[in-house]
Amino acid sequence: MQNEEIIRKINQLLIDEIEIDESQINPAADLKKDLGIDSLDFVDLFVIVENNFGFKMKAEEMADVKSLQDFYNYIINRINPN
């Protein structure tokens, strides 16, 4: 899967499933502060990622994921490891 396709899919999932306003989608956006993603939303994200990308996220791996770009990179690296 190409990186651009992964990013588009993540953005659409955030809009559809987490109900983030499309105007807020910005790679520099902080997941918690700017997008308002709380602990319950993170639980939903774990399930959404597993259902749509086929792998389980681990909470300890998400410790350094702060921005939407960090989240993109995390997903991309899990799908397309170097």
Q: What is the dihedral of CA 77, 67, 48, 37, to 10 degrees?
A: 160
Say how many C-beta atoms besides its own lie within 10 A of residue 13's C-beta. Answer: 18
- pLDDT for 46 equals 93
Q: How far apart are CA 30 and CA 46, in angstroms?
A: 17
At 30, give phi and psi (nearest 5°): -75, 130
Q: What per-residue confidence (pLDDT) applies to 45?
A: 93
pLDDT for res 59? 86
d(Cα 33, Cα 50) in Å, to the nearest integer? Answer: 24
Domain chopping of the chain, boundaries: 3-79
59/18: higher pLDDT: 18
User: Which of 3.10.129.10, 3.40.50.1370, 1.10.357.10, 1.10.1200.10 would CATH assign to domain 3-79?
Assistant: 1.10.1200.10
CA–CA dist 78, 58 (Å, integer) = 11
Q: What is the pTM of this model?
A: 0.92
